[in-house]
Structure 1
Amino acid sequence: MSQNIEITSETLELLRKCGQGTLTTQLFKRGYRQQFLVGLAPLSKTSGRFVGEAFTLRFIPSREDKDWDLGDLKARGEDNVQWEAVEEIGPGQVLMIDSRNDPRAASAGNMLMTRMMRKGVAAAVTDGAFRDGAEISEMDFPAYCRANTATTRPAYHRAIAMQEPIGCADVAVYPGDIVVGDADGVTVIPRHIAAEVASDSYEQERRETFLFTKIDAGASLFGTYPAGPETLEEYQKWLAEGNDL
């Protein structure tokens, strides 16, 4: 199966150097028109880029007989798939949470974020909301969400399953997909094309770094972006001089 395909550290490092616009362009060229998680933003502006393997968690709406007991939350009982996921997820993985695009209650808070950060988890992403946003924004841990809320998860969400296909911000996410994030947002790359997307995205980033210097110096878009024969020849000379990302 495609999810068993090995992803090398070289592939991950190439992806880490590529922006969201480049990744989505390369995915579009391969027929994937929407792999960017629209509407999600990082709580921290300083946590930097991340890349890792998707570890999925799915929520359904909460229900009183399952998530409440005479008004007392059962959030810390044995039947807690959310905590199981936080304990199961491994270093370098990304917790991808299907919160049904519902930000009324928190998908997680700073305690769970801290546990994952100390375990070496790469990031946490939800199409809902996180709580403790002020604390999370100060952590060296990438956390992406639609909103910040103070409302506890069982008010609206029940964690029901992990490591199965989910939808996050209306993007299909399969366990083992490769997730890349930066200040602009998050893109999901199907695992079986991650290596080729990484290679072509890195080349696009290199080429566009050069093309930007041309546009910034006053060159016309025509013949420069996209590059015409003369510009491509100049680009090859630029590479031969040892320039790179």
Structure 2
Amino acid sequence: MTRSDPVAVPQATLERLKKCGQGTLTTQMFRRGYRQQFMVGLTPLNKAAGRFAGEAFTLRFIPSREDKDWDLGDLKKRGADNVQWEAVEAIGAGQVLVIDSRNDVRAASAGNMLMTRMMRKGVAAAITDGAFRDGTEISAMDFPAYCRANVASTRPSYHRAIDMQQPIACAEVAVYPGDIIVGDSDGVTVIPRHLAEDVANTAYDQELREAFLFTKIDAGGSLWGNYPASDETLAEFEAWKTAGGTL
């Protein structure tokens, strides 16, 4: 993928990815040689906010420094030269803000004002490997926001937003602008853009097959012959699918 010629990811592909669980997606990535694409330790503030899939819009923090980020007498000065606010205004509908906060939870990466601005713009989700503030308010929003912790400390006390739309690390996972980010109540997986359609198709097929296999196990069936499926069980699955079985 190059920025001038990105691989197209149709909306239908994103919709299919949204139907796939994190375990399924990481299994499919592992089969392609990617051992760790799951953002370990990040959880949504609102577990009922729903599933999402969208392309990554990246933002990178470095440690703050007093002469660059804040004035003890006038925090309003942080409104000038503020890459964080630039990113919130630049991100588009359907995209996912992914913030590299260096796994540092000592200060918030954002709060409910920025979340509300993005939500109203149609942004799909916001993710940091640090912390958010205003957790009570964000947890009541219909907006997926993933973090390590909720803290009250203001961002400039420890973080400076330094650039956007560059490759970053988030929760020790490499994220490139345009990667496809998929999340649900269990967490978040990063899929390289050029693999999105292939992963969407095989992951959906796996989800469909396991939905059928679950009915066998739930009905009292043995693991042997059902998980993994024997040829006989796979034939039953194909018949179930032909009869209209779906997720």
The interval holding the TM-score normalised by the smaller chain is: over 0.9
Look up the SS of the partner of 2:239 in the other structure.
helix
Contact 2:71–2:77 (CA under 8 A) maintained in structure 1: no
Following the alignment from structure 1 to structure 2, what is the Cα–Cα distance between the partners of residues 117 and 151?
23
Rate the CA distance shift 1:70–1:195 in 2: closer, same or farther, 3 A.
Answer: same
Following the alignment from structure 1 to structure 2, what is the Cα–Cα distance between the partners of residues 68 and 238?
62
Q: Which runs of 5+ in 2 are unaligned?
A: none
Cα deviation, 1:114-155, whole Å, max 9, x if unaligned, reads: 000000000000000000000000011110000000000000
Structure 1 outlier segments of 4+, above 6 Å: none
Following the alignment from structure 1 to structure 2, what is the Cα–Cα distance between the partners of residues 102 and 202?
35
Following the alignment from structure 1 to structure 2, what is the Cα–Cα distance between the partners of residues 72 and 28?
49
Contact 1:75–1:154 (CA under 8 A) maintained in structure 2: no
Following the alignment from structure 1 to structure 2, what is the Cα–Cα distance between the partners of residues 133 and 189?
28
Q: Which residue of 2 aligns with 1:141?
A: 143
Contact 2:70–2:78 (CA under 8 A) maintained in structure 1: no
Q: Which residue of 2 aligns with 1:44?
A: 46
How far 1:226 moved relative to its partner? 1.1
Cα deviation, 1:164-187, whole Å, max 9, x if unaligned, reads: 000000000000000000000000
Q: Which residue of 2 aligns with 1:166?
A: 168
Q: Which runs of 5+ in 1 are unaligned?
A: none
Matched residue pairs, number? 245
Pair 1:129-2:131 in alignment: yes
Following the alignment from structure 1 to structure 2, what is the Cα–Cα distance between the partners of residues 9 and 77?
35
Q: Which residue of 2 aligns with 1:228?
A: 230
Cα deviation, 1:181-209, whole Å, max 9, x if unaligned, reads: 00000000000100000000000000000
Following the alignment from structure 2 to structure 1, what is the Cα–Cα distance between the partners of residues 55 and 77?
27
Following the alignment from structure 2 to structure 1, what is the Cα–Cα distance between the partners of residues 167 and 73?
33
When the two chains are superposed, the root-mean-square deviation of aligned CA atoms in Å is 1.0
Q: Normalising by structure 1, report the TM-score.
A: 0.98
The within-5 A match list for 1:144-159 is 144-159=146-161
Q: Which amino acid counterpart does residue 232 of structure 1 have in structure 2?
A: L
Equivalent residue for 2:71, pick from 69, 76, 86: 69
Equivalent residue for 1:100, pick from 80, 99, 102: 102
Pair 1:213-2:205 in alignment: no
Rate the CA distance shift 1:217–1:74 in 2: closer, same or farther, 3 A.
Answer: same
Cα deviation, 1:28-83, whole Å, max 9, x if unaligned, reads: 00000100000000000211111110000000000111112354325533210000
Percent identity, aligned pairs only, is: 76
Contact 1:2–1:192 (CA under 8 A) maintained in structure 2: no
Following the alignment from structure 2 to structure 1, what is the Cα–Cα distance between the partners of residues 88 and 21?
28
